[in-house]
Amino acid sequence: MPRASRNIRKMKRFPKSTSTPDCKDGVVSFVFCPRNFPTDNGYARKGQRIVFCEKRNNDTAYTGNATGVALMDPSETTFYGWVSKDDMHIILPKLQKPDNVVKGVIVEAHEFPWPAGGGDCISGLVRFRDVGLEEENVSQA
């Protein structure tokens, strides 16, 4: 066995979140692989601010569930990853409310190589905050 294969880092896995869909804030896990979203990818870094968006996830479409929760930059132009399938049930109902906004900050991001995922991938944790209706946020600014 080549020496390099013994040093391969693996995806850091996180336990299911203890947050619920009723929580206004909490922590969920995410994963990013370059092949997941073919354009405008970014690499998630600790401290980065994001917004959660409901997006089509072609990787899960075969399961009958093509909806995913994406981590995007606040302008919604750069993709930073998907909320894990174990934690998606926490964020998705919040996004399905009309004009509701859920923001977050990445609190952990761990790189790992995965050729099938398109190269260097990232798994991590993101702290979320359900900030409510978008129009309320604008009037409070």
Calpha distance 129→77 (Å, rounded): 20
pLDDT in tens, 114-138: 887 888 889 999 999 999 875 444 3
% of the chain at pLDDT higher than 70: 77
Query: Is residue 31 a contact partner of residue 68, using CB atoms and an 8 Å limit?
Result: no
Model confidence at 140: pLDDT above 50:
no
Three-state DSSP at 124 gives strand
Closest CA to 104 of 139, 135, 69, 141: 69
Q: What is the pLDDT of residues 104-118, one digit of tens each?
A: 999 999 988 888 788
E-strand ranges in the chain read: 25-32, 49-56, 67-72, 79-83, 100-114, 119-133
Domain boundaries, the chain: 29-140
